[in-house]
Amino acid sequence: MITIEGVSRVRGRARILHEVSFEARAGRVTGFLGPNGAGKTSTLRVLLGLDRAQGGRALIDGRRYVDLDRPLTVAGALLDGSGAHRARTARAHLRWMAASNGLPKRRVDEVLELVGLAGEAGKRAGRYSLGMSRRLGLAAALLGDPPVLILDEPVNGLDPAGIRWMRAFLRDSAAEGRTVLLSSHLMGELAETADDVVIIDHGVVKADGTLAEVVGSHATLEDAFLARTAGEGASW
Amino acid sequence: MVNGHGAAGRGGAVQGRGGAVRGSWGWPVRAELRKLLSLPTAWVGLVLGLVAAPLLVFVSAGGTRKAIEEGFHADPSDAAFQPLGIGLLGALILGVVVLSSEYTSTGEDAPGARQLQATLAAMPRRGRLLVAKGVALSLLVAAQGAITSVVTLTLSRMVLGDLVPAASPGRAAAVVLYWVLLGLLAYALTLIFRSGVVTLTVLIVNSSVVSVSYLLTKVTPLAAYLPDIVGAHMFLHQVGDVHIAPVTAGVVMTAWVAALLILGGWMFRRREP
């Protein structure tokens, strides 16, 4: 369970997040939707303790991420890129991550197998394609078999087969009882995977509810989204 | 709940695998050691550090022998230790890459992404992370320094024979301490500059091409207490024109390194990656 409570963040003079509040519940996929620059990544970075908020609280199972003793066993995060130094092999990257949280070495091979990288585990991360980098990032997120998954634009850079795989993976994870929070600017994608939807624009939450509630009387999630974010063309 | 892992996470240590100490500190240190040892650049530092000083013994044997025979060395015991002042290049490289590798972009497709994100995801307590890095670095450099000192000093005895007195273990230990402190100095500066290039340029130019610190000693003898040159007094009897006792040199250098580490750590904790 993820709890975001009144999180505000200012950078210089710019207001990045303003009193952002929502919850992502266990056993459900929560889609965090917004145009580029709306504050999705910022919210996730505050949740992971990478960026500081000037106000509010962002908690995972009631605790701040930075206070977790073995964070990889509580929450797995997929942010931009693979997270691996480009000169390191994928296996070496996952091995140090496993060591940092006292996880057994066999978990490394298990997650490599799970994301379909077992055959390329000895390759340097810098030589990976975009899709492979995402898979490696996901493998790292899954190392500790965490009950909470936090994913920033997880389908970015994936080919159609990869997107389908990711969709099934996220649904399965929620079905197993995990909390899945993913951000996206792709409405069609979210409409297919999310149970709950949070719409954010200019750092302010515009809608929050189940997919059906957020779509409401609109024909599609896209229509609902555009109606709530000041219409088309606003973000580009 | 999924496999009850969330509950295990709160306990701090994995079931049956050591206590809280190992969980809190042992894991991050092990992770940082693994990280360093799986980085090609770190191996450049390791190998360079191991071979540079012994190699120098051979290369400079003729000149050193002549210098001692002509009485150029007021203290011939220094001759055996001097090459060890060069091999520390390896310690500098290790001290830099332990941190600069965190800031390298992970790839063209995600220019803003760095390993630091993965590191902080795995070890979000920044203070603990920095200590773990420092410990891993010190262990590696100490091992490197110990091996290199023994090999270099033994070779010196073989090559120069009775021209140099047998090295005392205390002085050899001082060399190891000197290397570790220099590695930590490089680490501290990289924490401050956030760039390996800047730190390495400053340290290498200053130690090999033109030593600004050494030139400053011509202006004021106090410059001999600057962090990059004071440490050499720990194991060399004659450095420049200023005499500093080995223990004093060790204390001064340790104080410098500690102060810079505290400053660098403070800056690291304030920044958002």
Place of tokens 């202006």: B219
CA dihedral A19, A23, A24, A27 (to 10 degrees): 180
Taking contacts as CB-CB distances below 8 angstroms, the residues of chain A near B120 are 48-50
Taking contacts as CB-CB distances below 8 angstroms, the residues of chain B near A86 are 104-107
Place of tokens 């450099």: B141
Backbone φ, ψ for residue B149 (5° rounding): -60, -50
Mean pLDDT of chain A: 92
Does position B3 have pLDDT exceeding 70, yes or no?
no
Q: Which pLDDT tens digit goes with each residue over A166-203?
A: 999 999 999 999 999 999 988 888 888 999 999 999 99
- pLDDT at B120 (0 to 100): 95
Residue ranges covered by each domain of chain B = 20-270
Does position B191 have pLDDT exceeding 90, yes or no?
yes
Which residues, including other chains, have CB under 8 Å from residue B68's CB and lie 6 or more apart? B76, B79, B160, B163, B164
Nearest to B5 among A65, A77, A147 (CB): A147
Closest residue in B to A72 (Cα) is B122
- A152 closest CA partner among A76, A75, A79: A79
- B104 closest CA partner among A124, A213, A218: A124
Taking contacts as CB-CB distances below 8 angstroms, the residues of chain A near B99 are none
Q: How confident is the model at residue B43 (pLDDT cuts 50, 70, 90)?
A: very high
Of B77 and B52, the one with more pLDDT: B52
Q: Which pLDDT tens digit goes with each residue over B137-162?
A: 999 999 999 999 999 988 888 888 87
Nearest to A133 among B38, B104, B107 (CB): B107
- CA quadruple B117, B123, B125, B131: dihedral sign: negative
In chain A, positions 63-102, which contact chain B (CB-CB < 8 Å)? 65-66, 68-74, 77, 79-89, 92-93, 95-97, 99-102
Residues in chain A where the model's pLDDT stays below 50:
233-236
Mean local confidence (pLDDT), B185-212: 84
Cβ pair A140:B115 closer than 8 A: no
Neighbour count for residue B30 (Cβ, 10 Å)? 18
Closest residue in A to B273 (Cα) is A50
- B272 closest CA partner among A32, A11, A138: A11
Q: Is A75 left (phi over 0), alpha (psi -120 to 50) or beta?
A: beta
Residue ranges covered by each domain of chain A = 1-61+149-236, 81-146
- pLDDT at A66 (0 to 100): 95
Place of tokens 């590695």: B183
Taking contacts as CB-CB distances below 8 angstroms, the residues of chain A near B110 are 80-82, 133
CA distance B98 to chain A (A): 12
Cβ pair A157:B109 closer than 8 A: yes
- In this prediction, the answer to ipTM > 0.85 reads yes
- pLDDT at A67 (0 to 100): 94
Q: Is A209 buried (19+), middle (13-18) or exposed (0-12) by CB count in 10 A?
A: middle
Q: 3-state DSSP call for residue A19?
A: strand
Weakest-pLDDT range from A7-21, B216-230, B252-266: B216-230
Does position B250 have pLDDT exceeding 50, yes or no?
yes
CATH code for A1-61+149-236? Answer: 3.40.50.300
CA distance B229 to chain A (A): 33
- pLDDT at A194 (0 to 100): 95
